[in-house]
Amino acid sequence: MDEKASQQLHKPMPDMGQDSANILQQLDAFKEHDPNYKDGRVWSLVYYLNEDHSDFLKESYHRFACENGLNPTAFKSLKKFETDVISATADILNGTKDVCGVVTSGGTESCLMAVKTYRDMARDKRRVKRPEMIMPESAHVAWFKASEYFGVKIRLVPLLDDLTPNLKKLKRMINRNTVMILGSAPEYPHGTIDPIAAMGEIAQKRKIPLHVDACVGGFILPFMEMNGEEIPLWDYRVPGVTSISADIHKYGYAAKGASTITYRNMDYLRYQMFVYQNWPGGVFASSALLGTRPGGAYAAAWGVLQYFGKAGYRALAKDTLEAVNRLKAGVEEIPELEVMGNPRGPLFAFKSTSPDLNIYAVGDQMDALGWQVNRNQYPSGLHAMVTAQHLKVVDQYLEDLKKSVEIVRANPELAGEGGAATYGMLAHVPLRGMVKKKVLEMYSEQYKAGGGELDMSAEQTNSGTGKGLVDRMLAWWVARETRRGSGG
């Protein structure tokens, strides 16, 4: 191949356009290898109810698909959606009329904004130059991202046996550089609700803002409580809580691209705002991370809140809780399995208590039976994000889980094969920096123009890293170990 040919892109822009019907057909065809979430086989990523509901979301989305929420005074419709969504959110989070907030594009944006806000507030009010945030080990990865993006150092609070943060250690981590404390309701990896009331007391005494990450719990825990479930206090009723993130595109069953960040009052939110008055394009103000903001996502979020109302969400929460409780009970019935911690919401994880039963091998068997089960590390386990839709597959899931455990019990060598071997190694490679470097290399490969075509047949696993990626990771690790001759 000559120099020029080797530099050519594999996929240049088409020279000529095609007709839209043809393209829509192609779009549908591309779905073929995507996870099939419609029959309750997928336990993360998508919060799906049924086709009627999806059609309603799409209808409301497409009515505003081209509208832009950048400037709240331009499209009054979009500002109304935002105001209504924030008010409804403040209501279910038991806030007062002082609560204020912004609709964002997702949980990550909401979390990023909280870190920026509290960093800037501490800079302004206390001249903090080397900002730090205190958060439990179980905090969502979005907070690690925020720390990196905004240069706020993390002090990581270790967990107790029940997977709640060690509050004695948390207290000792507070210093003059602390700009915020974080708790979750619940945390994603195990579904445990952090002791927010106790954390609120600490935060208030030391005059430090406390953010509650209810990205996943915000649109279900309130309805579980309205249904009479005993849920420890975690919202604005806890005096020390200064802000809460809650995603509508999770248990609000909205279209993707809708979350909320609310604050107890404007004294906090004003540090989230960005204003630049000297831009040649005019005076510019922005309330969160995005410039152009997708009107469709706000319309669908507004629509879904009107559609369900409290009664609808309570019914969904009831079905979800029934599914979770039956799943947890079924897992506990299997002698070698144990639910981790004390999950109270819609998520849980379980681990093996027997050295003879590799939990990742159980996961492989579940995958082979057509489920898509996520893996936890530290400690090793399997994870489930349960929705109302899963109620109809509870019995099948538990039957297959029993079957999977039996297979692994009878074939312990499965722990050294396939995904089990890979996940085991990924979790136990001692040089974490090496893991990071290698994942970065492989992940970057997928973003090359004209190269690195995604293997469409590869199953997706956690965090958007394909299974193909993990397999290559394993190959790399094995080759490395062989070279070193360590035999380990």
Ligand X SMILES: *Cc1c(COP(=O)(O)O)cnc(C)c1O
The answer to whether 140 contacts ligand X (rule: CB under 6 A) is yes
Q: In angstroms, rounded to a whole number, what is the distance separating the alpha carbons of residues 333 and 342?
A: 16
Q: In angstroms, rounded to a whole number, what is the distance separating the alpha carbons of residues 241 and 221?
A: 16
Segment contacting ligand X (CB under 6 A): 116-124, 208-216, 236-244, 467-475?
Answer: 208-216
Longest dimension (CA), the chain: 72
Q: By C-beta, is 165 or 418 nearer to ligand X?
A: 165
Binders of ligand X in range 39-78 (CB under 6 A): none
Binders of ligand X in range 220-249 (CB under 6 A): 247
The answer to whether 142 contacts ligand X (rule: CB under 6 A) is yes
Plot region of 78 (φ>0 → left; ψ -120 to 50 → alpha; else → beta)? alpha
Segment contacting ligand X (CB under 6 A): 213-221, 311-319, 369-377, 387-395?
Answer: 213-221
The answer to whether 375 contacts ligand X (rule: CB under 6 A) is no
Q: In angstroms, rounded to a whole number, what is the distance separating the alpha carbons of residues 188 and 324?
A: 15
Structure tokens at 20: 């839209």
Q: What is the dihedral of CA 141, 142, 146, 147, to 10 degrees?
A: -10
Tokens 């047949």 belong to residue: 457
Q: For residue 72, is the peptide bond before it cis, meaning its omega torsion is within 30 degrees of 0? A: no
Segment contacting ligand X (CB under 6 A): 81-89, 130-138, 210-218, 233-241?
Answer: 210-218
DSSP string, 99-163: -EEEEESSHHHHHHHHHHHHHHHHHHHH--SS-EEEEETTS-HHHHHHHHHHT-EEEEEPB-TTS
Q: By C-beta, is 185 or 305 nearer to ligand X?
A: 185
Q: Kindly state the smallest distance separating residue 215's Cβ from ligand X, in Å.
A: 4
Of the candidate residues 48, 81, 188, 223, the single one contacting ligand X (CB under 6 A):
188
Structure tokens at 243: 């802000």
Segment contacting ligand X (CB under 6 A): 79-87, 105-113, 410-418, 433-441?
Answer: 105-113
Q: Kindly state the smallest distance separating residue 186's Cβ from ligand X, in Å.
A: 7
Q: By C-beta, is 175 or 463 nearer to ligand X?
A: 463
The residue count for the chain: 488
Segment contacting ligand X (CB under 6 A): 100-108, 223-231, 282-290, 307-315?
Answer: 100-108
Q: By C-beta, is 216 or 420 nearer to ligand X?
A: 216
Of the candidate residues 106, 209, 346, 418, the single one contacting ligand X (CB under 6 A):
106
Q: By C-beta, is 108 or 422 nearer to ligand X?
A: 108
Radius of gyration of the chain (CA): 24
Q: Kindly state the smallest distance separating residue 78's Cβ from ligand X, in Å.
A: 20
Q: Kindly state the smallest distance separating residue 445's Cβ from ligand X, in Å.
A: 23
Q: In angstroms, rounded to a whole number, what is the distance separating the alpha carbons of residues 316 and 300?
A: 18
Q: By C-beta, is 256 or 467 nearer to ligand X?
A: 256
CB atoms within 10 A of CB 170: 22
Vertex 460 angle, CA 383 and 430, to 5°: 65
Are β-strands 381-385 and 132-136 bridged in parallel, bridged antiparallel, or unpaired?
Answer: unpaired
Segment contacting ligand X (CB under 6 A): 101-109, 171-179, 283-291, 392-400?
Answer: 101-109
The answer to whether 107 contacts ligand X (rule: CB under 6 A) is yes
Q: By C-beta, is 64 or 188 nearer to ligand X?
A: 188
The answer to whether 111 contacts ligand X (rule: CB under 6 A) is yes
Of the candidate residues 60, 138, 147, 184, the single one contacting ligand X (CB under 6 A):
184
- Of 430, 442, 433, residue with least CA distance to 473: 442
Segment contacting ligand X (CB under 6 A): 1-9, 106-114, 267-275, 322-330?
Answer: 106-114
The answer to whether 216 contacts ligand X (rule: CB under 6 A) is yes
Coil, helix or strand for 191? Answer: coil
Q: In angstroms, rounded to a whole number, what is the distance separating the alpha carbons of residues 285 and 287?
A: 7
The answer to whether 213 contacts ligand X (rule: CB under 6 A) is yes
Segment contacting ligand X (CB under 6 A): 25-33, 107-115, 365-373, 438-446?
Answer: 107-115
The answer to whether 108 contacts ligand X (rule: CB under 6 A) is yes
Q: Kindly state the smallest distance separating residue 180's Cβ from ligand X, in Å.
A: 15
Q: Kindly state the smallest distance separating residue 249's Cβ from ligand X, in Å.
A: 6
Are β-strands 241-247 and 259-263 bridged in parallel, bridged antiparallel, or unpaired?
Answer: antiparallel
Q: Quick one: which H or E segment has residue 246?
A: strand 241-247
Q: In angstroms, rounded to a whole number, what is the distance separating the alpha carbons of residues 118 and 333?
A: 45
Q: By C-beta, is 108 or 358 nearer to ligand X?
A: 108
8 Å CB contact between 278 and 334? no
Count of positions on this chain that bind ligand X (CB under 6 A): 13
8 Å CB contact between 373 and 405? no
8 Å CB contact between 196 and 183? yes
Q: Kindly state the smallest distance separating residue 346's Cβ from ligand X, in Å.
A: 10
Q: By C-beta, is 75 or 302 nearer to ligand X?
A: 302
AA letter at 137: E
Q: Kindly state the smallest distance separating residue 140's Cβ from ligand X, in Å.
A: 3
Contact footprint for ligand X (CB under 6 A): 106-108, 111, 140, 142, 184, 188, 213, 215-216, 247, 259
